[in-house]
Amino acid sequence: MNLPSSDVLLDRMMSLHPKIIDLTLDRMHRILAALDHPERRVPPVIHIAGTNGKGSTQAMIRAGLEGAGLTCHAYTSPHLARFHERIRVAGTLIDEARLAAILDRCLAANGPDPITFFEITTAAGFAAFADTPADYTLLEVGLGGRLDATNVIDGPAITVITPVDLDHQQYLGDTLAKIAAEKAGIIKRGVPVIVGRQQDAALEVIEAQAARLGAPVIAHGQHWQVWEEAGRLVFQDETGLLDLPKPALPGAHQVENAGMALAALRALGQGETACEAAMTNVIWPARMQRLRHGPLHDLAPEAELWLDGGHNPHAAIAIAALLAEMPARPTHLICGMLNTKDVTGYMAPLARVAQSLHAVSIPGQAATLPATATATAATQAGLDAHVADGVAQALAEITAQAPQARILICGSLYLAGEILKENG
């Protein structure tokens, strides 16, 4: 039987629920039962929630486990260029034929019943993982934790909560404590939880939930520490001290992400081989990624072109710190954001390190913030702001004035995905 392409099937899935986000686990339990519970047959799970650093931390854990000779499934979202990026089966991105077959199976199991796109595609991920042996399954939460579609695993091997900050308040609550409570919803009875650096209000909530469930807490600052020293990364926990290369992902914030990954690897019983591989072998696109070739690079061959998908104030602080550490060079931003984000909070740290900002709308995104609104927020933050019809026009305008500029394309993972597609 000739199946439709995965793109056709994914389009059908988009029409099954009027809301993109509708947090509940009822529909997940229904479709997983119809699929004969693949979530119960996946390899041991490492479940990761948090506001910032989930993807990078997951990528480092995977690099470490694979460096130790183990195989990993991995589920992450959103994708950048193609949906296939969300489902990595035993180390390899899912191929088109297999993805189409699993999506078709999930559509048949669901029937006409309402289900969100994220829910049914998460079910597809579980189905793919249940069919193939591996040593571990890495699951990244989509939104929140307690009611996220990934939160259907009763007994993960470990859970990880990266730094919690204000984001998605319309869904998760308007205070840090409320958001932390949603993230802490992935903690399971008796299962160790790795906790990254947290503000006091968030840490209180996470520790209280762990105590209720008898889940051992392995927290930054209490049970492990990480720092940079003499161009190396030093990690210390109750087992001892590790002197490692700095992570291959640039930025001081990646040192703390590395700490969470190392704490997780140690909790899983891994040794120095895995820990070193986590630092040296990690790859994670659109996290301060240097674009060194491709059509966009060709438009600005003398410029230093960077891409980052961070989209909230915490991410902007990390980006600004990295830009400030780089060799002196005029820095200009090309920025597109979604209308659900804290644009003013995002702009404030970047205004201290950039000379100008060209605002763009994100192609194909109904929730894009209009370029004019992004430019207005940038002006209010103190940036010299302009509106461009697209990234190519913005590049041309910046390089006409400063051909050797440092140019950062930023503001959204959806914009980053468009850039990676456009740049081949």
* 424 residues of the chain, pLDDT tens digit each: 678 899 999 999 988 987 777 888 999 999 999 999 999 999 999 999 999 899 999 999 999 999 999 999 999 998 888 999 999 999 999 999 999 999 999 999 999 999 999 999 999 999 999 999 999 999 999 989 999 999 999 999 999 999 998 776 776 878 999 999 999 999 999 999 999 999 999 999 999 999 999 999 999 999 999 999 999 999 999 999 999 999 999 888 899 999 999 999 999 999 999 999 999 999 988 888 999 999 989 999 999 999 999 888 888 998 999 999 899 899 999 999 999 888 999 999 999 999 999 999 999 888 899 999 999 999 999 999 999 999 999 999 999 999 999 999 999 989 999 999 887 7
Rounded CA gap, 251 and 270, in Å? Answer: 25
Phi, psi of 228 (to 5 degrees): -100, 135
pLDDT at 252: 84
Bridge partners of 140? 48
Q: Tell me how far apart the terminal alpha carbons of the chain are, to the nearest angstrom.
A: 32
Q: Where are the domains of the chain?
A: 6-280, 289-422
Q: 378: closest CA among 405, 399, 350, 398? A: 350
Fold (topology level) of 6-280: UDP-N-acetylmuramoyl-L-alanine:D-glutamate ligase (3.40.1190)
pLDDT at 1: 61
**How far are the Cα atoms of 72, 144, 170, 313 from residue 93, in angstroms, in the given order?**
11, 25, 33, 31
Q: Provide DSSP, 58-118.
A: HHHHHHHHHHTT--EEEE-SS-SS-GGGGEEETTEEPPHHHHHHHHHHHHHHHTTS---HH
Reported as type and span, the H/E element at residue 47 is: strand 45-49
Pull the structure tokens for residue 31: 């479709």
Residue type, 190: G
Q: Are 137 and 129 in contact (CB under 8 A)?
A: yes
Instruction: State whether CATH 3.90.190.20 applies to domain 289-422.
Output: yes
